[in-house]
Chains A and B, each alone.
Chain A
Amino acid sequence: MLNKRIQRMREKLWNTRPCITAERLVLATEAYKKFAGDAIPVFRAKVVNHIMENMTTLIMEDELIVGTATNKYRGANLHPEFQSSSWYISDIDEFPVRTKDPYDISPEDRDQILETLKYWEGKSMEDLSKTALPAHIEECIQDDIITVGLRNGVSGETTCDHEKLLTVGLKGYMEECEKNIAETICTCQEDQEKINYWEACIIQCKGLITYAHRMADEAEKQAKQCKDEKRKKELLTIAQNCRVVPENPPENFWQALQMVWFAHVYFHIEVCTTANGFGRFDQYMWPFYKKDVIDEKNLSEEEALELLECLYLKSCEVYEVRDKWYATSFAGYPMWEILVVGGQTRDGKDATNELSYVCLEAANQLKTTQPVMAVRVWDGTPEKLMRMGCKMIQEGQANPGFFNDYAAMKMTMGKGCTLEEARDWTIVGCIQPGPGGGATDGSPDAGYVNMGKMIEFVLHNGVDPDTGKLMGLQTGDPREFKDIEEFKDALKKQILHHYELVATGYRIMQSMHMTRYPVIFASMVTKGCVESGRSVQHGGAKYSTAGLFITGAANLADSIVAIEKCVFEDKDLTMDELIKAVDNNFEGQERIRQLLLNKPEKFGNDREHVDGVYREMMHFIADNVQQWPDARGGRFSFNVHSQTVNVSHGMVCGATPDGRLAGEPFCDNASPMMGRDVSGPTATVKSVASMGQGDFHDGALFNLRFDPKGVEGEKGLDSIEGVIKTYFKHGGEHIQINVVDDKTLKAAQKNPEHYKGLMVRVAGYMAYFTELDKSAQDTIIYRTTHFKQAEA
């Protein structure tokens, strides 16, 4: 189905390993030395401008959409402003050989990197954060009790206001900034800061325009040398496109795609960002598609599809280099570039159009890990769109993910927006709904709290049994607890205390980012920032939220119910015996473990009591933390979401009262603990839907896996659709379904090259199964299989 060009390009993608390159690092370092002294935003803008003026202009064979964040294909930049040069240096020979997300480095790049990094010793945000955070918070992070975001990454997770970008072009933004500067008479520091920010915006716009013009030059140069007439013509069109956009609004579909990509390339050159989604692509691109393909017929449907596929392939070319811990916790080179289709218009009509289908079809044909497709579903969603998505799921693509408009709207309205903005919600992050396409800075990953550790603290009166240190609150000797309510109260105290630590640490980090690394360009294209003269780091976005995450949510509920049933109600064992059993990792006490596993109810089986405990605990967290302000005047928002931090956090946690053994991963995101949902997928779906997700402002991430046999044929499509719709009817926000069998995955482990295209969704993003390391693969293989062999 893919045409020859796209086939070649995809082959190249699959056959090229990502690599780390030195160019941006070298240019940024030059600029740092050259421009130091300017006001921070202006200084930062000049640094990026220097890169844009000097970086390699790379146009590769077959490309129709151009622009790369580095000087090599599948190249990754180093950002020593954010990430510590110490692990860049210590890991430099490990990157190519590490099992999780490896990167090649050429000998020349390696030498240049090592030489240049000397300048950065102790200067990165990550280095500074070590002394910036209070000692106790730092210790909690080191012991994997909590995480605090922003320590080695950029602050801000924005989904650009593409509609405005395509309407006014960078020219429009520059004019707006100039006008604001002209109209501002400085009366205080704040006014000067606004002017600095607007000036920085103008510099950055010019930088990107310069880069585009240099790309045009390169295209013309290649065209001159090109013998193939067809390619020559393409190169000349590319050159012309680069002269029009991003400076001016695009004149056609091709230029609009090129403009979107220029903006996205720039996000990745300025800072080491992730999760810059494509937003409601089928909405803002529709006028261009309609004009070229439907009304004026300048482009055939096939040509438009090919161009779109070229953009999709481009989105597979950006990376964020991560250290060992994060490479484990976010495995599979995820970038969370989500592309949303469907849903409602601002005035409440169905938003689906012909481009919505073309967007899905491109993903269906390409089967690449980026962009991740998201289908918004409401009562008016055409059956055809739903069916198309379900068919992709049935084929085992694990793409698209489905989102419930009603739940997402409730969440966004919880963030304070209007109904029109809620209807225009889009994903900011991986599943977090943000109001009014391009109006939100959903600062990512404020931090995670490890629920396993919270249980350990209650069982040991604040002591971490792993280290013997008093780390948590002293909530009393649990042997004295009279009932489960006392146990739950102690847990709630521990949990809230640790979210407070995360929030405190995060505010400190946010404040450091404000003063050092305001993100200029991504802010400029977010609603509110140019108007207010403030970056997203300063709370310039119309809506600002900071996500608080959780690991081990199901283990928490299961553990509470296990203690309630076996210790307090049935008195099968005493609290003391339970503590000793978990402390010994159930060694010699497998029978006790079996009791804890089999007797009490477990989350994920549509059982009222345990599902109720889960709901109670999650709401307790959300109701509290969502009241808290962050450092830029935004609010924290809660989501039941672990990414794969459940693996890292499980690794340091001893056995838990739900029968989980020491070191085992916790449950995956909002799913039940692996293997504990034994009542089939319908029961799992209902349990997860019952947690009252609408009140969690950043939602809940739900992975469900189906055996292919359970979803065969037309009837299988009905089943998939029925499961999704039922999940939504009961209040679920997001569901992603993997349809693969264990046999396929095991075969893929043994013979990876025959399964290069095999994809799995791992916690909100997609990864090639064969690119994951063995332990991550094993987790996926053992993740709940939801189709029990038919008994009758």
Chain B
Amino acid sequence: MNDIKDPKTALVGSIQKFSTEDGPGIRTTVFFKGCPLECLWCHNPELIDFRQQIIRMPASCIGCGYCIENCPEKAIYIDEEKKVDIDRDLCSGCMECVDICYADAIRPVAKAMTIDEILYEVEQDKTFYDNTGGGMTLSGGEMLSHFEFVDLLIDRAGERDIKVCLDTSGYGDGDHLEKLARKSNVERILYDMKAIDDEVHRKCTGHSNEIILENLIRLSDVPELSEKIQMRMPLVSGVNDNREMLERTADFYRKNGIKRVTLLPYHDLGISKQRNIGKEQKAFSPPSDGYVEEIKKLFQERGDMEVDILGKL
């Protein structure tokens, strides 16, 4: 597959309007493709790889077989559920099948978009932002990995009086992050915390959390940036919801003056997407509702924080 070399474009998985769980008000979320972490439970696994990929959509497949006949590598076949599937070892990524699939059952994961193209879509909902205090959220994948692009995108949004939320894992260049965070139209930073324990973090994401914690401290040390921080914590039962670790997390937040946290109990929507790009994802389970409430209390009491719970199905 081709790397997108042109810095004027970025690979965008989707632009989702009427997002109501990605910051204040009615928002439009831009999902960038590519993330340096590989969380076991990732719910957007098709946005991990920085390169273009093909995703199949079995529910849309009408079984016409046209793609099978036309695939130069003979990489496409019909699975036991009579839906199209791709042998990823044979696929050369030529995209021939994508062009001829009228049912949109085989699609590119992302689209290379210019800043103007993105802003056109985002600006369409400007009146909704004005009426509800909403705006644009940059998410992914990891938006920080597209620094040059988002740097400019945020400024151009500012010229149009559009407020921005950053949704980030914090795993990236600290200077970059701080530069984005300092922008006057960046109103909120949704900052992920997968695990405060480095060993757990490595197990879950394949990487150390050292940079993440460093970056978080760096932002929280600046009062006007600290105010913008909203922690987001995916909670996966038996993986990163250990009480002792969460207590440490709460203490850490408190020490660094962090005021808001959103709990995101695990859901399994990532599994089918992972399968549809030709990989398998392990199934996990969310903590019980009761335990999530306990965790909420823990952050409220021990961390003196505002806590909400989102992302439940």
Contact = CB atoms under 8 A, between A and B. Distances in A.
Q: Indicate, yes or no, whether A interacts with B.
A: yes
Interface of A: 590-592, 594-595, 598-599, 606, 679-683, 686, 710, 715-716, 718-719, 721-723, 725-726, 729-730, 786-792
Given A592-B102, A594-B104, A606-B124, A682 B18 contact: yes
A683 B64 contact: no
Given A599-B102, A788-B16, A683 B21 contact: no
A573 to B, nearest CB: 11
B20 A715 contact: yes
A787 B102 contact: no
A688 to B, nearest CB: 14
Given A591-B64, A591-B66, A792-B139, A719 B20 contact: yes
Given A595-B102, A719-B132, 16 more contacts: A591-B102, A599-B102, A682-B26, A686-B124, A710-B18, A710-B20, A718-B25, A719-B20, A719-B26, A721-B131, A722-B131, A723-B128, A730-B127, A791-B269, A792-B19, A792-B29
B17 A791 contact: no
23 contacts: A591-B102, A594-B102, A594-B104, A598-B103, A598-B104, A682-B18, A682-B128, A683-B125, A686-B124, A710-B20, A718-B133, A719-B18, A719-B26, A722-B134, A726-B127, A729-B131, A788-B18, A789-B313, A790-B19, A790-B21, A792-B16, A792-B29, A792-B44
Contact of A792 (B22, B26, B104, B131): B22
A172 B258 CA distance: 73
A718 to B, nearest CB: 5
Contacts of B104: 594, 598
Interface string B203-233: 0000000000000000000000000000000
Given A594-B104, A598-B104, A682 B125 contact: yes
B41 interface: no
B43 interface: yes
B62 interface: yes
A585 to B, nearest CB: 15
Nearest to B131: A722
Interface residues of B, number: 33
B103 A722 contact: no
B37 to A, nearest CB: 15
Contacts of A726: 127-128, 131
Nearest to B313: A789
Contacts of A606: 124
B256 interface: no
A-B CB proximity, top 10 nearest: A722-B132, A680-B18, A595-B102, A594-B103, A594-B102, A722-B131, A680-B17, A726-B127, A682-B18, A591-B64
A606 B31 CA distance: 20
A386 to B, nearest CB: 11
B25 A722 contact: yes
Interface of B: 14, 16-22, 25-26, 29, 31, 43-44, 62, 64, 66, 102-104, 124-125, 127-128, 131-134, 139, 167, 269, 311, 313
A724 B21 CA distance: 20
A681 B18 contact: yes
B22 A787 contact: no
A478 to B, nearest CB: 22
Centre residue among B18, B21, B66, B125 by max chain A CB count within 10 A: B18
A729 B62 contact: no
Contacts of A721: 131-132
B124 A683 contact: yes
B25 to A, nearest CB: 7
Given A722-B26, A722-B128, A723-B128, A680 B62 contact: no
B129 to A, nearest CB: 9
B267 to A, nearest CB: 9
Contacts of B20: 710, 715-716, 719
A599 B134 CA distance: 31
Nearest to A685: B128
A407 to B, nearest CB: 15
A716 B310 CA distance: 13
A553 B127 CA distance: 26
A598 B62 CA distance: 13
Contacts of A590: 62, 64, 103
Given A725-B131, A789-B313, A791-B31, A594 B62 contact: yes
A681 B16 CA distance: 11
Contacts of B26: 682, 718-719, 722-723
Contacts of A725: 131
A598 B124 contact: no
Contacts of A715: 20
Given A710-B20, A719-B20, A722-B128, A791 B14 contact: yes
B62 A718 contact: no
A789 B313 CA distance: 8
Nearest to B13: A791
A384 to B, nearest CB: 17
Contacts of B18: 680-682, 710, 719, 786-788
Contacts of B167: 792
Contacts of A790: 19, 21, 311
A591 B133 CA distance: 43
A560 to B, nearest CB: 19
A591 B103 contact: yes
A791 B16 contact: yes
Given A710-B18, A718-B132, A722-B25, A789 B125 contact: no
A682 B129 CA distance: 11
A726 to B, nearest CB: 4
Nearest to B167: A792
A595 B105 CA distance: 12
A721 B132 CA distance: 8
A725 B129 CA distance: 11
Contacts of B62: 590-591, 594
Contacts of A595: 102
Centre residue among B16, B21, B29, B131 by max chain A CB count within 10 A: B131
A719 B26 CA distance: 6
A683 B29 CA distance: 14
A792 B31 contact: yes
Nearest to B47: A792
B231 to A, nearest CB: 16
B230 to A, nearest CB: 14
B44 A791 contact: yes
Nearest to A566: B102
A253 B19 CA distance: 47
A722 B132 CA distance: 6
Contacts of A594: 62, 102-104
Contacts of B127: 726, 729-730
Nearest to A730: B127
Nearest to B133: A718
A34 B59 CA distance: 70
Contacts of A681: 18
Given A595-B102, A682-B18, A719-B20, A789 B269 contact: yes
A231 B22 CA distance: 58
A723 B44 CA distance: 28
Contacts of B25: 718, 722
Contacts of B14: 791
Nearest to B140: A792
A598 B131 contact: no
A679 B17 CA distance: 7
Nearest to A679: B17
Nearest to A729: B127
A722 B269 CA distance: 29
Contacts of B19: 790, 792
A7 B269 CA distance: 44
A159 to B, nearest CB: 31
B58 to A, nearest CB: 14
Contacts of A598: 102-104
Contacts of A719: 18, 20, 26, 132
Given A722-B131, A792-B139, A682 B17 contact: yes
Contacts of A599: 102
